[in-house]
Amino acid sequence: MKHGYWITGLLWFFVLSVAGQAAPAVFDQLPAPVQFFPRTDQNTAPVPVSGYFQTPGYQRVALRLLRNGALSAYQRRELTYENGRAAFALTSTLRAELAEYAVEVYGISTQGDSLLLARREGLLCGDAYLINGQSNANPLGEGYDYYNRTLNRYCRTFGVGDSGKPYAPQDTLWTYSNENSSGVGSWGTELQRSLAQRYGVPVCILNGALGGSPLDYHAYRNPDNPSDLNTGYGKLLYRVRKAGLMGHVKALFWRQGETETSGDPGGVKYPLFFPTLYKNWRSDYPALKQIYVFQNNLLARSFESASQVLDYQR
């Protein structure tokens, strides 16, 4: 079963049609289905819901928060119309725990009738991480077993992993990480499951790895447009920004170097490009508490550059 949902634009608009008429309310802030929210220092995350009623006759707006299907919180606001519109803004709070939340938004008419305007399910609050590098950082084929592990319901990802092809800006997809098409990879998915099990907190991982990619592919950052979708660096940064994770990524896992072990005579690429890549990571992801560098595997090659890459990573 697929759990992907498309989002377009910087804001999410939710407009219903009832018997050919415009919906009573328009949303400019509304969570996406199965969306992940990074936790704050208070171990929670705010979930804003806002918009306006464009149809008269509504007296209140109500927001229900459900935790694992049971009502957790309820709030409502009075509506005041100005120039034919009644604006509203409410905020729910999620806790960073192994629980899925849902929000329901209702319009309450002057006669007391309630109309469900929107429902969003599968919401999580937790920690976000990045994986980057080449094929060993993104071995695909998580396998059927991952579909059946209970803890994997608390693992999320966003957008499409780096396939080396032009990235479509509309590829802003929240989904469960244990799907074969998620791009998180087998050990990335297992890392999420292990972290969720050990710490009792949901996990989101975005993987920007590309098989066979050289170090300079990842290191190049367009100074005029860091989120440039024509660059490997920009593709991942774009996804992080669209996911609302800027300032919240806790760690980055880097596994790369096979290309340089045989294609870098003199072993000059790592000393030349890695400091720049590291500096850019620290600049664009200021919340990073740790960058983990995997030392390259020992390969069956006799190139001198292989030992130089290993030594530099060490």
Residue with tokens 């009738």: 113
Q: Which residues contact 93 (CB under 8 A, 6 or more apart)?
A: 44, 45, 46, 47, 65, 73
Third-level CATH fold of 5-123 = Immunoglobulin-like (2.60.40)
pLDDT single digits (tens) 164-185: 777 777 777 898 886 656 788 8
Question: 218 to each of 94, 179, 210, 261, 274, how far by Cα in Å?
Answer: 35, 25, 9, 16, 9
Average pLDDT over residues 269-289: 96
Question: In this structure, what token pair is assigned to residue 8?
Answer: 């377009």
**Between residues 12 and 165, which one has the greater pLDDT?**
165
Q: How many angstroms separate the CA atoms of 93 and 211, rounded?
A: 39
Paired with 114 in beta bridges are: 108
Angle at 153 between CA 148 and CA 155, to 5 degrees: 115
Q: Quick check: do 5-123 and 125-313 share a fold?
A: no
Average pLDDT over residues 139-151: 58
Q: How confident is the model at residue 264 (pLDDT cuts 50, 70, 90)?
A: confident
Question: 137 to each of 186, 203, 206, how far by Cα in Å?
Answer: 9, 17, 11
% of the chain residues with pLDDT over 90: 66
Q: How many angstroms separate the CA atoms of 16 and 95, rounded?
A: 30
Q: How confident is the model at residue 9 (pLDDT cuts 50, 70, 90)?
A: very low
How does the average pLDDT of the chain come out, rounded? 87
Domain ranges of the chain: 5-123, 125-313
Whether residue 14 is predicted with pLDDT greater than 90 in this model: the reply is no
Of 309, 313, 288, the closest CA to residue 299 belongs to 309
pTM given for the model: 0.88
Phi, psi of 156, deg, nearest 5: -130, 160
Q: How confident is the model at residue 5 (pLDDT cuts 50, 70, 90)?
A: very low
Q: How many angstroms separate the CA atoms of 281 and 97, rounded?
A: 28
Average pLDDT over residues 240-262: 94
pLDDT reported for residue 302: 56
Q: How many angstroms separate the CA atoms of 224 and 214, rounded?
A: 22
* Residue range 125-313, CATH number: 3.40.50.1110
